[in-house]
Amino acid sequence: MEIRRERSRQDAQRVEPPVVTAAATSGTQSPTAWMGEIGWGGSMPSVKGLPRVTPRRAEQHATVFACCNNIAGDLSKVPLKLYQRDKDGQEVRVRDHPAAYLLNIEAAPGIAAQVARYALIYAYALRGNGYAYGPRDGAGELMMIDLVTQDQCSMLKAGRARFYEFEDGSGVYRRVPARSMIHLRYGASDGWTGRSPLEAASESVGLALAGQSAAARTANGGTTKAVIKLDDFYDSDEDRARNARRVKEQITRPDADGMPVLGPGEDIKSLDLSAADQELLASRKFDREQLAAIYRMPPSKLQMLEHGVKANGEQQAIDYLTDCLLHWSVLVEAQLMLAVLTEKERRAGFYLRHDFGALLQPTTKDRNEALVKATGGPFQTPNESRKIVGLAPVKGGDDLNPAPNMTRVESAETEEEDA
**C-alpha–C-alpha distance, residues 152 and 31, integer Å:** 9
Answer yes or no: is pLDDT of 151 > 80.
yes
Q: 21 has which bridge partners?
A: 156
**C-alpha–C-alpha distance, residues 409 and 415, integer Å:** 10
Answer yes or no: is pLDDT of 28 > 50.
no
**pLDDT band at 50, cuts 50/70/90?**
confident
How confident is the model over 221-234, as pLDDT tens digits? 555 556 666 777 77
Decide: 67 and 205 in contact? Cβ < 8 Å. no
Phi, psi for 158 (deg, rounded to 5): -140, 90
How confident is the model over 168-197, as pLDDT tens digits? 888 889 999 999 999 999 999 889 999 999
Mean local confidence (pLDDT), 145-151: 92
Cα dist from 190 to 58, 282, 330, 407, whole Å: 25, 39, 19, 62
Please tell me whether residue 134 adopts helix, strand or coil conformation. coil
Runs of H (alpha helix) within 176-312: 197-200, 202-219, 237-252, 275-294
Q: Which amino acid is at 53?
A: V
Mean local confidence (pLDDT), 84-111: 91
How confident is the model over 348-390, as pLDDT tens digits? 999 999 999 877 777 777 777 777 777 766 678 888 888 877 7
**Greater model confidence, 139 or 182:** 182
**C-alpha–C-alpha distance, residues 341 and 165, integer Å:** 22
Q: Which amino acid is at 67?
A: C
Mean local confidence (pLDDT), 290-314: 78
**C-alpha–C-alpha distance, residues 74 and 86, integer Å:** 30
**Greater model confidence, 23 or 85:** 85
Query: Considering the entire predicted model, what is its pTM?
Result: 0.71
- Domain extents in the chain: 17-220+274-361, 226-270, 367-414
**C-alpha–C-alpha distance, residues 149 and 32, integer Å:** 11
